[in-house]
Amino acid sequence: MEIGLTVGGSIDRIEETAAGFDFVEFGLAEAADLPGSIDGDRLVETLDRFDLALDVHLPFKQVVATPVPALNDALVSHKRDLLAWAGSLGARKAVLHGTVRDPYDTDLRGTAADQIERIVAAGREHGVEVVVENVGHQQYGLQLSVLGDLTEQVDAPVCFDLGHAYMEEGMDGLERFAKYHGDRVSHLHVHDVRRRGDTHIPVGAGEIDYGVLDERFGGFDGTAAIEVFTDDAALLRDSAGRTADHLGGTFDPPEWTD
């Protein structure tokens, strides 16, 4: 198992907070003009300096599937370009939000499955594993159960965001997804939440019973990204340590320098 850190699209944040982690998950902006808008040489140099592997998060404001075939083709083409760039920098995984124009339109679910399958295949072309993230608590997000069924249908790996699952269906929904689709989970997003709306807070500061990790993901051999929205290195590392304890791993960097 590897424990990493989400850093948005900031190379500075890598330098300030990511020392001691195994990898970073670097965010690609919605209108990223690659390679011009990101200093790839600096990004690679920073990763090498801190001995970090690279994963990426694909843009998330564009949905994955619409009722318009031409738009769907353009969305796949855009993702393919981003995956080609990410693969050229050595990225291993790319997170894709599971979204559609109308998640309650059952006719769109087949289109969503096709789109996910095409984007996953585009990732494979460039050596990048595309993992589909649950965002059913958001306006365009596929519901947890639907996402589970679609990823099973097209054999797509999952980025299981524990906080998102809790916000959508509470602990019951979170545990149900882990029980029935946990074998598809390749990547975890780990943070705590409160149902009143607080999200991406340090592990242990919210309402999630992280004992579910012990039961469903003990011995997890994938990647887990700490997605806590703070630049306080001590809080990030504390969340990483708690996550490692639940997953049966370790997080003990030789030097915890701020």
Q: Is the pLDDT of residue 32 over 70?
A: no
Stated length of the chain: 258
Angle between helices 69-88 and 107-125 (to 10 degrees): 30
Give residue 146's pLDDT: 98
Residue whose structure tokens are 């006719």 = 107
pLDDT for the residue 258: 47
Q: Model confidence at 31, in pLDDT bands (50, 70, 90)?
A: low
pLDDT single digits (tens) 140-196: 999 999 999 999 999 999 999 999 999 999 999 999 999 999 999 999 999 999 998
Sign of CA dihedral 60, 62, 67, 68: negative
What pLDDT sits at residue 255?
59
- For residues 38 and 88, give the distance between their C-alpha atoms in angstroms, rounded to a whole number: 13
Pair 22, 2: CB distance under 8 Å:
yes
Asked if pLDDT for residue 231 goes beyond 90, the answer is yes
Does the pLDDT of residue 257 top 70, yes or no? no
d(C-alpha 234, C-alpha 219), whole Å = 25
Arithmetic mean of pLDDT over the chain: 94
Question: What values do phi and psi take at 191, rounded to 5?
Answer: -165, 170
The total of other beta-carbon atoms located within 10 Å of residue 255's CB is: 6
Six token digits for residue 85: 């760039």
Percent of the chain's residues with pLDDT above 90? 89
Evaluate whether 136 touches 147 at the Cβ level (below 8 Å). yes
Three-state SS string across 174-187, please?
Answer: HHHHHHHHHHHEEE
Checking if the pLDDT of 110 tops 80, the result is yes
pLDDT at residue 37, rounded to an integer: 81
pTM of this prediction?
0.96
User: What is the mean predicted confidence (pLDDT) over 129-140?
Assistant: 98
Q: Please compute the mean of the pLDDT values over residues 53-58 and round it to a whole number.
A: 98
Q: How confident is the model at residue 84 (pLDDT cuts 50, 70, 90)?
A: very high
Q: Using alpha carbons, select from 179, 169, 180, 241 the residue that is nearest to residue 215.
A: 179
| DSSP helix/strand/coil, 58 | coil
Topology (CATH level 3) of domain 2-247: TIM Barrel (3.20.20)
Tokens at 20, concatenated = 């001691």
Check residue 254 and give its pLDDT: 58
What is the rounded end-to-end Cα distance, in angstroms, of the chain? 24
Both tokens of 202, joined, read 């340090």
Over range 64-79, report the average pLDDT: 97
Residue 256 confidence (pLDDT) above 60: no
Domain boundary assignment for the chain:
2-247
